[in-house]
Amino acid sequence: MADAELERRAPTTARVLLLSALGGFFEQCGDPASLQTGETGASRMVFTGSVGLKGRAIVFAVLLLLGTGGAVCAALMWRHFSSSIEAVERNAVMNAHFIGLSAEPYVLLNDVQSLDHLVQAATTSNCVELTQILDNSGKVLAESAAEPRFVLDTQVRVVEAFRGAPTRDSFRVFRTTRQCLALVPIWPVGQQLDLGLAEEDAKESRDSGPIGFVLLAYTLDDVYRVLAKDAFSSLAITAALIGFGLAVTVVMVRQLLTPIAGLVQTASAIAEGDLSDRASEDAPGEVGVLARAFNNMADKVEDYAQNLEKLVYDRTVALERNEARTRAILDTAADGIITIDERGVVESFNAAAERVFGWTAAEVVGQNVSMLMPSPYTESHDSFINAYVRSGDPKLIGRGREVQGRRKDGSTFPMDLAVSEAGVGDRRTFTGIVRDITERKRAEEEQQKLVSLVENSSDLIMMCSLDGKVLHLNKSGRATAGLDAPEQVAGTTIADYMPSEEWARVREVELPMVLKSGSAEWHGELRHFKTGARISMQISFFLIRHPQTGEAMCFGSIQRDITAQKLAERQLKKNMAELEQFNRLAVGRELRMIELKRQVNEIARAAGLDEPYDLAFVASTRR
């Protein structure tokens, strides 16, 4: 049974597919003029004429066919082997089922002699090596050979294989390198036969599971024998295809490589400088076309080479001029310009940078840029660059900032530093523009001092535009005018700080005088924003001019609250008036006393007496 199945499955498919594919391939790729057929009908390929695209396609197609044919043969062989093994397994399981049905009553009756006859009859096929009938514990009841050529692991394995309530369709298949074993359970069907079993025994037999097992071993020697025969046939076909492909390849290679070798020699000669060498254009097919195209290219290369020296010279001169122009721009720039690579090594150092740092370009180029920085910038600069190169997150790169620089003499100074990045391929260059801001910082400090002086002055200090808008009012001025915050000054004008009649006089008289002479002083009044009260002020207005051009920029005003002074002056006038009146009264009495004393002295003198009053002091006072 198994032999017949194997013979029916003997493969001829691989040979048919390979031969069909090869014949169809040549019918599609060969020129009709070069495919000749003899009287016997056998086709042979005659390669004549030029070798074109179809010829090259044949070479590659044959090689591809060899690989594909080998893969197809291997796949078909594996498929045939698998299907043959599956057929053996199916036959083993099916025959084991038949034997189990026949052995079921003998197992129930424990008729060992009948079981022996049954297993001997089942082993008559050449494919069956062993037949065993076992009880449900794995004990052998009957077998076809006293010394079987295999040993099933243990009797326990038989029982373990069917643990878990097997069904009537359950079976197990074991496979070794030479055998296929089918293990099929024997189920009781005695209830359908008159075996003399009691009803209770029959029910117990039905519910207790299989009553035994049939173990059937099939040999795989026939399968391997058929496969070996087919493998030999396939190898023969493959070898024939390889030989044919090699022959075709040799012919095609000879026709293709000879003119190509000449073309390669010509290309090598041109590459070595012999631009006059040319390839032969007599080659057939596309190789000849390629040779003509190559010669045309060589002619153009020769023409180009004749002008190449002049072109290189012109390019070199242009590059030198461009470099000189760039260097001139860098050297005349007011700011220091320094370029470094991604390791922090200085590549260029312009003249302004030399003036800023005191180093010459020759001393700095090739050194790490950290030499121009004081601590702690020296220690952290390289880490900034490395972090930027790794992550692209700038700490110093990509933004301007104020840092400290270090001159050649070791002194430090404040400077503005702006760094940008330029990339050429995978190489990065960083350009830093530096500016010494020592003077600016000094001016800022002076300006801060002036601002502090203005803000802490007890006088009102105001700055306003030429059209009268107030630009700044110091702290004392805001307090005097009744303003609480600097924001309240925004949007106010000079007129808002004066009574209307005062502003009219200032606008018509005082401000024109300031514009004409540059400054003016007067006593005026300031309006309190909250109470509206008038505050007496001593006002000084003056023009603020541009230091270089002298052009008027804005008004400045310093005003002092003289309310207390005015009150003191009025009180002084009152006191002076009262004193004057008192003096007049006192002087009048004194003059009358002197006159009386003079009259008494005259009477005493007339009487011949001494003068009782000395009026000499009064006389000297009058003189």
Residue scoring higher pLDDT (165 or 573): 573
Residue 366 falls in which region: left (phi positive, over 0), alpha (psi -120 to 50) or beta:
left
How many angstroms separate the CA atoms of 166 and 170, rounded?
6
CATH superfamily for 116-224 is PAS domain (3.30.450.20)
The answer, yes or no, to whether residue 407 has pLDDT greater than 90, is yes
pLDDT value at residue 412: 92
The answer, yes or no, to whether residue 402 has pLDDT greater than 60, is yes
Answer positive or negative: Cα dihedral of 443, 446, 452, 457.
negative
How many angstroms separate the CA atoms of 595 and 578, rounded?
26
pLDDT value at residue 76: 73
Gyration radius of the chain over CA positions: 63
The answer, yes or no, to whether residue 358 has pLDDT greater than 90, is yes
How many angstroms separate the CA atoms of 145 and 132, rounded?
9
The CATH architecture to which 458-561 belongs is 2-Layer Sandwich (3.30)
> Measured over all CA atoms, what is the biggest interatomic distance in the chain, rounded to whole angstroms?
211
Residue scoring higher pLDDT (44 or 337): 337
* Mean pLDDT, range 393-413, rounded to an integer: 80
* Mean pLDDT, range 467-476, rounded to an integer: 93
Does a cis peptide bond (omega within 30 degrees of 0) precede residue 376? yes
pLDDT tens digit string along 551-599? 999 999 999 998 888 887 787 788 777 777 776 776 677 777 877 888 8
User: What percentage of the chain exceeds 90 in pLDDT?
Assistant: 21
Q: Do the beta carbons of residue 301 and residue 276 sit within 8 Å?
A: no
- Cα distances (Å, whole numbers) of residue 22 to 43, 64, 68: 12, 11, 11
**What is the Cα 20 distance to its own chain's centre?**
56
How many angstroms separate the CA atoms of 200 and 206, rounded?
10
Residue scoring higher pLDDT (43 or 346): 346
**H helix count then E strand count, the chain:** 17, 17
How many angstroms separate the CA atoms of 35 and 47, rounded?
8
The answer, yes or no, to whether residue 430 has pLDDT greater than 80, is yes
Residue 585, Cβ neighbours under 10 Å: how many?
A: 10
pTM of the model: 0.39
Q: Do the beta carbons of residue 428 and residue 389 sit within 8 Å?
A: yes
pLDDT value at residue 59: 63
**Amino acid identity, residue 99?**
I
Q: Which residue has the tokens 């298949």?
A: 173
Q: Using 50, 70 and 90 to split pLDDT, how confident is the model at 65?
A: low
* Mean pLDDT, range 429-448, rounded to an integer: 89
pLDDT tens digit string along 179-230? 788 888 888 764 334 444 445 554 554 556 788 888 888 888 777 777 777 7
Residue scoring higher pLDDT (525 or 292): 525
Residue 184, Cβ neighbours under 10 Å: how many?
A: 26
The answer, yes or no, to whether residue 616 has pLDDT greater than 50, is yes
pLDDT tens digit string along 109-125? 888 888 888 888 877 77
Residue scoring higher pLDDT (134 or 609): 134
How many angstroms separate the CA atoms of 96 and 108, rounded?
17
The answer, yes or no, to whether residue 392 has pLDDT greater than 50, is yes
Query: Which range (239-253, 317-331, 442-456, 518-532) has the least confidence?
Result: 239-253
Q: Do the beta carbons of residue 70 and residue 238 sit within 8 Å?
A: yes
Helix (H), strand (E) at residue 13: helix 13-29
Q: Do the beta carbons of residue 270 and residue 277 sit within 8 Å?
A: yes
Query: Going by CATH, does the domain composed of 333-436 fall within 3.40.50.1370?
Result: no
pLDDT tens digit string along 364-390? 999 999 899 888 777 667 666 766 666
pLDDT value at residue 473: 93
**What is the Cα 177 distance to its own chain's centre?**
58
Query: Which range (185-194, 226-235, 299-308, 528-537) has the least confidence?
Result: 185-194
Q: Using 50, 70 and 90 to split pLDDT, how confident is the model at 483?
A: very high
Work out the mean pLDDT of the chain and round it to a whole number. 76
The answer, yes or no, to whether residue 495 has pLDDT greater than 80, is yes
pLDDT tens digit string along 138-159? 788 888 864 444 444 444 455 5
pLDDT value at residue 284: 67
**Amino acid identity, residue 611?**
E
pLDDT tens digit string along 268-283? 777 777 777 777 777 6
* Mean pLDDT, range 333-347, rounded to an integer: 88
Nearest 5°: the CA angle 3, 6, 9 is: 150
Of the candidates 427, 426, 403, the one whose C-alpha atom is nearest the C-alpha of residue 347 is: 427
Residue scoring higher pLDDT (446 or 582): 446
Q: What is the DSSP letter of 178?
A: S
User: What percentage of the chain exceeds 70 in pLDDT?
Assistant: 74
**Within 13 Å of residue 155, how many CA atoms lie on the same side as its CB?**
11
Specify the 3-state DSSP secondary structure of 338: strand
How many angstroms separate the CA atoms of 497 and 537, rounded?
11
Q: Using 50, 70 and 90 to split pLDDT, how confident is the model at 97?
A: confident
Please provide the DSSP assignment of 183-199 as one string.
EEEE---GGGS-----H
- Cα distances (Å, whole numbers) of residue 348 to 4, 396, 424, 490: 93, 19, 17, 50
Sheet holding 460-464, edge to edge: 470-473, 460-464, 552-561, 534-545, 519-527
Q: What is the DSSP letter of 480?
A: H
How many angstroms separate the CA atoms of 98 and 375, rounded?
99
